[in-house]
Amino acid sequence: MTIIRPYRPADRDDVYDVCVRTADSGADARGQYTTDDFMPDVFAGPYLALEPELAFVAEDDGRVVGYVLGTADTARWAAEHRARWLPTVADRYPLVDQASTPQAELTELLHHPERDVHIELAAYPAHLHIDLLPSHQGQGLGRALIRTFLAALREARVPAVHLGMTPTNTAARAFYDRLGFRELPLQVPGVTYLGAPTDLAV
Ligand SMILES: CC(C)(COP(=O)(O)OP(=O)(O)OC[C@H]1O[C@@H](n2cnc3c(N)ncnc32)[C@H](O)[C@@H]1OP(=O)(O)O)[C@@H](O)C(=O)NCCC(=O)NCCS
């Protein structure tokens, strides 16, 4: 049976594994970057390190098969990322002159966490990432993880949450639409922004 529970530090490697196996618009990204830790170091590690109390996992038979993680305050997160996360990974992923590959573009983002802060999203201060292994998709676990995450945000008196997603990930878009997330009017090439109030009934 799969349960939803708070993240524990011992889950870190499983979370990294789920992240890379779903990091290609929902498909497996292993082997696509210089190390399979790259995508997790960009999209999971900073949240686990900075706001572990806002990370929740789906566990089946002793193994983490999915997670939701994020921040209650994107602007604060960006500042803490720069101060506390970036110094731990910057040497591993140096900036290159020409951001001409997917890894180079994401390395730019890693080195400039402030680019995740948009004035247009000020009413949606939290943001999240959610991923489940293919074996555990379509069973209601995504809905349960989002419900748990929204409850934690409500407890912290956070009014609304946003997420940025690849427009080509149509399966994820159908999921968010079904839960009641709405597209936000922020134009950034290659990213669709969705948002929801934390009192959304999911
Ligand atoms: C997207 C994801 C988190 C959804 O979680 P999930 O557990 O598969 O979704 P659930 O089973 O909880 O579905 C909740 C609702 O969304 C609907 N839904 C989910 N995926 C859907 C799809 N591809 N098409 C249409 N509806 C979908 C379900 O039918 C369900 O509605 P219902 O309760 O009325 O039947 C999960 O599939 C996943 O991790 N995918 C790969 C990684 C990824 O793309 N992450 C998001 C990056 S932005």
Burial (Cβ within 10 Å: 0-12, 13-18, ≥19) of residue 111: middle
pLDDT confidence of residue 96: 86
Q: Dump pLDDT digits (tens) for 1-52.
A: 999 999 999 999 999 999 999 999 999 999 999 999 999 999 999 999 999 9
Query: Cα(53) to centroid of ligand 1, in Å?
Result: 24
Locate the domains of the chain by residue range: 2-197
* DSSP code at position 185: S
Query: Cα(112) to centroid of ligand 1, in Å?
Result: 30
Q: Dump pLDDT digits (tens) for 149-169.
A: 999 999 999 999 999 999 999
Q: Dump pLDDT digits (tens) for 41-59.
A: 999 999 999 999 999 999 9
Reading phi first (left if > 0) and then psi (alpha if -120 to 50, else beta), residue 124 is in beta
Alpha-carbon distance of 40 to 17, in angstroms, equals 8
Atom of ligand 1 nearest to the CA of 164: 48
pTM over 0.95: yes
CATH number for the segment(s) 2-197:
3.40.630.30
Query: Cα(69) to centroid of ligand 1, in Å?
Result: 16
Alpha-carbon distance of 188 to 108, in angstroms, equals 15
Please tell me the residue having the least CA distance from ligand 1 atom 6: 142
Atom of ligand 1 nearest to the CA of 165: 48
Instruction: Please tell me the total number of residues recorded for the chain in this structure.
Output: 202
pLDDT confidence of residue 99: 67
